[in-house]
Amino acid sequence: MTRMYEHNSDATPQVAVIGAGPGGLATALILASSGISVRVYEAQPIVGGRSSQITLGKYHFDCGPTFFMMPYVLEEIFNAAGRRLTDEVELHRLDPMYRLLFGRGDTSPLQIDTTQDLIAMSQQLAAIQPSDGPAFERFIRDNRHKLRVMTPILRRPMRSVMDLLNRHAIRCGPVLKPHQSLYAYLSSYFTHPSIRIAMGFQSKYLGMSPYECPSLFSILPFIEYEYGIWHPRGGCNAIMTAMHRVCEQMGVEFQFNAPVERIHFDGRQLRSVQVHGEMYRHKHVVINADATWAMKHLIPQSLRGRMTDQAIDHRRYSCSTYMLYLGVNGEVDLPHHTIYVSSDYEGNLADITTKGCLSEDPSIYVCNPSPIDSQLAPAGDSSLYVLVPTPNTKSTINWNTQAPVLRRRALSQIADRLGITDLEERIVVEKAITPNDWQAMRINHGATFNLAHTLGQMLHRRPQHRMRNVDGVWFVGGGTHPGSGLPVIFLSSQITSRLVCNEMNTRCALDRDAHAFSAENLNSGVPAA
């Protein structure tokens, strides 16, 4: 048998990062800012992972996330490199944040335009259900406290149940109500069913149903109302591009079209990563690939303990998504974000999470950024992003036959529910992504939001930042603590980076004196002077 060539020299970077998605880029930036040499291996020719950009002719689209929350978390990462987020990325606050349309059968949908103007939002809800206006104000107050006591948990590694017994975790006990669903929690505040959903649909950011999602995630809608949602000029991929640019300025090496095929060990000690049949030695490797896919395909079974392929696949996974990226002739009369909620929302969610089938009246999300961002489409035209939540590939859906069916339903929803009746005839270019396509992108079961955030798969029960049973292997991203979504992925990168720096006896750049992002200025999104 021919031995593979192994690259090993003093010039080889100390840390390998697998994947140039948001978690990998942020970790590389922090480690490089801390004086550690880093090389990023990316399977694709571009940065971003699920936050990459799709280009169809002159039309550009975010592949995954379309808005950004909690910019202060990313500001901390840029500060570690001596930069300011506002100098690297142009952020636009969206207010109204999004339009919610609740299906009501043959009657026109109920409309709620969400706003950070809390008084106006309370009045809007009170006009629908008088008691729900004051309830909104109470919800905001209670969740402001809830986020404050939860923040230490979101910023610390969760390695075992012992981490839940420290003073920070104990403080959370009275407010978390871990065994209560998000919908049940919201029902203690709000009377109107649509308002409950309006304050709980954000569980979809985790790929979950509010009827199953733990109540602690009520902080998601609170964060939107407290700190706003933002559109980066050029799309969310502009954040990834900015991090890549700063990483290179900090000396990070990037190898594109370089899929890591295997991680090799000497006993339990990391030895090298394998790319195109060649091995490259590193002291540490940070895995930003989909965590459960990476566990199955990159780590030898002998080092995984109980985590066999079967055990990994037996875990619960988030939903997937069917995507349409549409370059459209002319303007589209829709807000930046529009969400249509199925008239049978609970049934729609059951189809996705338990029955594994397509709904006749699916919920749908449409992003229309072109009116405020001229970079995404030719002048006067529109780049439209359409997302339909679907079962992941554990279902028996044949996407070769059902993708055209769901396309028709999605366009019908846009015409019938959103009122854009001439959209299909104005489509210039188009691309679709199915759950099968997500799976082909090395996402286990095509579950675009990673492992489900159930009680049995949260905190220390998610894949660890430091992999157990081996030395030198770390995880970052939505598959580990705190979970999915850009802001918490960036929190994950901070946790992993601090752990790696500590292991290498290096002071983490996050902990150096930097331009502080004052808590008093979080709502304005402006870093403190």
- Residue 528 falls within a domain, yes or no? no
User: Which residue ranges in the chain fall short of pLDDT 50?
Assistant: 1-3, 514-529
Q: Which among 192, 197, 198, 225 has a CA at the least distance from the CA of 126?
A: 192
Other Cβ atoms less than 10 A from the Cβ of 111: the count is: 12
User: Which alpha helices (DSSP H) does 6-117 contain, by range?
Assistant: 22-33, 71-80, 85-88
Residue 328 shares a structural domain with residue 432: yes
Pair 349, 377: CB distance under 8 Å: no
- Residue 49 falls within a domain, yes or no? yes
- Residue 10 falls within a domain, yes or no? yes
Burial class (CB in 10 A: 0-12, 13-18, 19+), 106: exposed
Q: What is the pTM of this model?
A: 0.92
pLDDT in tens, 36-50: 999 999 999 999 999
> Token match 């339903």: residue?
409
Instruction: Determine the structural domain holding residue 126 and report its residue range.
Output: 121-227
Residue 195 shares a structural domain with residue 215: yes
Residue 327 shares a structural domain with residue 432: yes
- Residue 27 falls within a domain, yes or no? yes
Residue 293 shares a structural domain with residue 306: yes
CATH code for the domain in which residue 64 is found: 3.50.50.60
CATH code for the domain in which residue 341 is found: 3.30.519
Residue 247 shares a structural domain with residue 211: no
- Residue 109 falls within a domain, yes or no? no
Residue 241 shares a structural domain with residue 218: no
pLDDT in tens, 257-285: 999 999 999 999 999 999 999 999 999 99
- Residue 349 falls within a domain, yes or no? yes
Residue 69 shares a structural domain with residue 160: no
Residue 361 shares a structural domain with residue 388: yes
Query: Of 430, 448, 466, which residue is a domain's last?
Result: 448
Tokens linked to 30: 């922090």
Residue 428 shares a structural domain with residue 462: no
- Residue 113 falls within a domain, yes or no? no
Residue 354 shares a structural domain with residue 443: yes
Per-residue confidence (pLDDT) for residue 512, from 0 to 100: 79
Residue 290 shares a structural domain with residue 349: no
- Residue 526 falls within a domain, yes or no? no
Query: Of 412, 430, 448, which residue is a domain's last?
Result: 448
Query: Of 208, 227, 246, which residue is a domain's last?
Result: 227
Per-residue confidence (pLDDT) for residue 195, from 0 to 100: 97
